[in-house]
Amino acid sequence: MNELLSFLSAIEDDPRISTAHISLYMALWKKWTDSGSNGPLSFFRCDVVASCKIAGGNTYHKVLRQLNEYGYIKYVPSYNRFQKNLVHFVHCGSY
């Protein structure tokens, strides 16, 4: 829960973050909490696109890559369509 609160606090002052970023982050977060895992989230793209409402594949990958570049998540792509991607949630500072 600390990572979610720190994310929400950090994005208040980050002009780079759009509703697509927030939507994808929340979809990933929900998937992770629903899994009950303490480690990284392991997922296929199709597992999260319906809940984040990002229909375009290019937009999805751009937003995911940007969340990684901006330091809100650590994204580890599999580059194999039969293996799941990984996302580590990053604590974004004080909240």
Q: For residue 70, which of 40, 92, 39, 94 has the smallest C-alpha distance? A: 92
pTM of the model: 0.90
Q: 38: number of CA atoms within 13 Å, CB side? A: 0
**45, 59 Cβ separation under 8 angstroms:** no
Residue 40: pLDDT band (50, 70, 90) is: very high
pLDDT tens digit string along 49-61?
999 999 899 999 9
**90, 73 Cβ separation under 8 angstroms:** yes
Q: For residue 78, which of 38, 36, 50, 47 has the smallest C-alpha distance? A: 47
**Domains of the chain, each with CATH number or no CATH:** 2-89 (1.10.10)
Q: Which residues pair with 86 in a beta bridge?
A: 42, 76
